Amino acid sequence: MTEYNEIQLAALKKLAYQRVAEKYRFFVPNGKAEEFIKVVGSDKYFVSLFSAANGLGKTATSVNILAHLFWPCGNKYFQHPLFTDYRYPLKKGRIVSDSTTIAEAIIPEMKKWFPKDKYVTSKKGKNYEYNWKTNTGFDFDCMTYNQSLTEFESVNLSWAYFDEPPPEAIYKATVSRMRRGGFIFIAATPLMGSAWMYDKIYTKATYSN
C-alpha cells in the first residue's frame, strides 16, 4: 500500500478538486480546435472563424478560449499571447447566439468548464443568466439575435464571441463598440444562407475548418 506524506496528500487533494471544480485546466482540443485556439490566441487578427459541422467541439472550444482568457492556468494548448499577456484596456465582452443555443448549450457548457466559485451571474430581467462577472475583472453579457439593435449599441467592448452567423446589423453594431481595440471570434456551421458574411468575413477572416 502506498503511503503519502502531508505535502503529497495536499497535492493529491488539490488535483482531485481541480478535476471536479476546474475542468478547464484539463481541456484537450481535437486537431482543428487546437488550430483555432492558436489563431485566436496569436492575437494577430480582429476576426477569426471556426467553420465546422455540428458535433466537432465548436462550443466547448469557444468556451475554453474564454475560460483560459479569464483564468490563465498554464494549460499547454493556451500558451499564446492573448492568454498570457492580455493587452486590451477593457475586459468587457459579449456572447451572442440564438436564444435556444444560449440557454441550452452555451450556458451549460460554461458551467461545465468554468472554475466553480470564481464568477457570479445575474439574469437582469431575462429568463436565463444574462450577465457574468469573473473574479479576475472580466464582465460579459449573453445576448440573443432577437434583441433590439439598440441593445447592441451601448457599452464599449474588447471581445465578442458569435455562435453561428450573426445578422449583419448586429455584427456591425458590435464592431463599432471596439473603438479601443479588441477581437471577435465566430464558431459556425458552414455558412449557407449568410451571403453578407461570406462576402465580407469568410473570404477575409482567419479561420479553421
CB atoms within 10 A of CB 130: 18
Q: Backbone phi, then psi, for 164, in 5-degree steps?
A: 75, 155
Residue with the bigger pLDDT between 6 and 137: it is 137
Q: Backbone phi, then psi, for 208, in 5-degree steps?
A: -125, 135
Distance, in Å, from the CA atom of 146 to the CA atom of 97, rounded to the nearest integer, reads 9
Residue with the bigger pLDDT between 191 and 169: it is 169
Angle (CA) 191 194 196, round 5°:
125
What residue has cell string 465580407? 200
CATH architecture of the domain with range 28-208: 3-Layer(aba) Sandwich (3.40)
φ/ψ region of 110 (left if φ > 0, alpha if ψ in -120 to 50, else beta) reads alpha
- Its pTM stands at 0.88
Note the pLDDT tens digit of each residue in 128-177.
999 999 999 999 999 999 999 999 998 999 999 999 889 999 999 999 99
Note the pLDDT tens digit of each residue in 92-126.
999 999 999 999 999 999 999 999 999 999 999 99
From start to end of 135-179, where are the E strands?
139-144, 159-163
Spell out the domain ranges in the chain.
28-208
Distance, in Å, from the CA atom of 143 to the CA atom of 133, rounded to the nearest integer, reads 15
Asked whether the CA dihedral 28, 32, 33, 34 is positive or negative, the reply is positive
Mean local confidence (pLDDT), 68-86: 97
Per DSSP, the three-state class of 78 is: helix
Asked whether the CA dihedral 170, 173, 179, 180 is positive or negative, the reply is negative
Mean pLDDT of the chain: 89
> Lowest mean pLDDT: which of 35-44, 80-89, 200-209?
200-209
Cell of 105: 448549450
Predicted local confidence at residue 6, as pLDDT? 72
